[in-house]
């Protein structure tokens, strides 16, 4: 049985701005992770089902065989990261991340983007009111903040394919992405805040992170 949508606070620009202020108050990666975990725990099973349904709908619109190749990476990007965040919160692992948030300027810019970026990323053609709920779109940014600023990993998983045969690549402890700077004009894209470096050549011999 599908659960009924719960009563919840409205995710207005002011509400998102208040969350962004809390995120910016974090001094360490662990503190940021704890703030993100508290926000993510507000998402009910119903919310996650809606987010998953929206993701599946977007994947289905992609052409085959790219659709089949990229689908597991999109799901990892959201739901595997969501599971990692809650697992680290529950185990206390976040408290052991005592180092500072790397590239504070980029992190602050990410937080500044949230109140306007969340609402710029709105598809007016979407008729499903649950898909259009900004709370569900905000989940994407919360998970991306965990991946990029707490784990210090790329916003898109290593090995994720892009059209043209390019992938996100890991070389030792560094990450590279050929399309790293392709979305500079889209101010709300997570690519603008990703720790991956701009690769000058197609990625080769990539492996997915475990």
Could you identify the residue written with the tokens 């990450």?
A: 175
- Residue 204 contacts residue 165 (beta carbons within 8 Å): no
> Cα–chain-centroid distance for residue 155?
6
Q: Is residue 23 part of a domain?
A: yes
* Own/partner pairs, 186-192, CB within 8 angstroms, 24+ separation: 187/113, 187/117, 187/120, 188/113, 188/116, 188/117, 188/118, 188/120, 188/121, 190/140, 190/141, 190/144, 190/148, 190/155, 191/155, 192/109, 192/113
Strand runs labelled E in the chain: 161-162, 166-171, 174-177, 197-198
Q: How far lies 37's CA from each of 84, 197, 198, in Å?
A: 10, 27, 30
Q: Which domain holds residue 28?
A: 13-156
Q: Is residue 6 part of a domain?
A: no
pLDDT in tens, the chain (210 residues): 444 444 456 889 999 999 999 999 999 999 999 999 999 999 999 999 999 999 999 999 999 999 999 999 999 999 999 999 999 999 999 999 999 999 999 999 999 999 999 988 766 555 566 667 899 999 999 999 999 999 999 999 999 998 877 888 999 888 988 776 677 788 999 999 999 887 655 444 433 332
Q: Is residue 188 part of a domain?
A: no
Task: Tell me how many domains the chain contains.
Answer: 1
Q: Is residue 55 part of a domain?
A: yes
Q: Is residue 2 part of a domain?
A: no
Token pair in block for residue 2: 């599908």
Q: Is residue 117 part of a domain?
A: yes
Note if the pTM is more than 0.75.
yes
Q: Is residue 77 part of a domain?
A: yes
Q: Is residue 136 part of a domain?
A: yes
């Amino acid at each position: 049985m599908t659960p009924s949508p719960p009563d919840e606070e409205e995710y207005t620009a002011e509400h998102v701005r208040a969350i962004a202020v809390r995120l910016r108050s974090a001094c360490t990666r662990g503190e940021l992770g704890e703030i993100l975990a508290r926000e993510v725990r507000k998402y009910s099973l119903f919310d996650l089902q809606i987010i998953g349904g929206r993701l599946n709908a977007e994947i289905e619109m992609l052409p085959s065989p790219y659709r089949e190749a990229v689908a597991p990476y999109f799901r990892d990007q959201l739901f595997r990261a969501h599971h990692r965040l809650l697992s680290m919160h529950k185990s206390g692992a976040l408290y052991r991340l005592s180092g500072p948030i790397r590239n504070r300027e980029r992190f602050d810019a990410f937080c500044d983007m949230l109140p306007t970026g969340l609402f710029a990323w709105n598809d007016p053609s979407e008729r499903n009111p649950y898909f259009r709920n900004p709370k569900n779109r905000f989940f994407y940014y919360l998970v991306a903040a965990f991946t990029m600023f707490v784990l210090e990993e790329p916003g898109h998983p290593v090995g994720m394919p892009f059209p043209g045969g390019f992938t996100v690549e890991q070389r030792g402890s560094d990450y590279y992405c050929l399309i790293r700077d392709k979305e500079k004009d889209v101010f709300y894209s997570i690519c603008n805040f990703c720790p991956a470096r701009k690769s000058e050549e197609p990625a080769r011999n990539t492996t997915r992170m475990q």
